[in-house]
Amino acid sequence: MADFFSSFRISGSGLTAQRARLNAISSNIANVNTTRTPEGGPYRKKSVVFEAQGDARNFGEILSAMDPKRHLDRVQVSDIIEDTKPLMKYEPNHPDANEEGYVAYPNINLVEEMTNMIQATRAYEANVSALQAAKDMALAALEIGR
């Protein structure tokens, strides 16, 4: 049964990571034309960075994780990076234009963000399917014991 719980933790960590990625992407899309923020300047594009994390929960699991055949990793969000480079467009009549007539926009490519959203959605769906499969196997194992 412990292996089922590892499957649940691994899939759950994938769901959490992809949710964070989808939140960043939706924020980027919503602010694609935001030229003024409370912090000053244009909105800064957010990118989520993932990192593998060992699946061990306690000392015994850490010791058993030393076995290369049992090495399982979860995913976690290690950082959210903000892009500081603005995209300059010539719009002299814009209220946020500088002295030369250029406006600083967020460096966001809408097509790229939509592609990333599709990837994150499919990864989320794959983790849901893996979680459901692990749940079905656990229930089938319980039925065998009857």
Its domain, for residue 112, covers: 2-144
Q: Give dist(CA 19, CA 109) in Å, integer.
A: 20
77 CB-side CA count, 13 A: 17
What band does 4 get if pLDDT is binned at 50, 70 and 90?
A: confident
Digit-coded pLDDT (tens) for 100-119? 999 999 999 999 999 999 99
82-109: average pLDDT: 94
Residue in the block written with tokens 């893996």: 130
What sign has the CA pseudo-torsion 22, 26, 28, 29? positive
Prediction pTM value: 0.81
3-state secondary structure at position 77: strand
Mean pLDDT of the chain, nearest integer: 87
Tell me the C-alpha to C-alpha distance, in Å, between residue 132 and each of 12, 19, 129, 139. Answer: 11, 18, 5, 11
Number of domains in the chain: 1
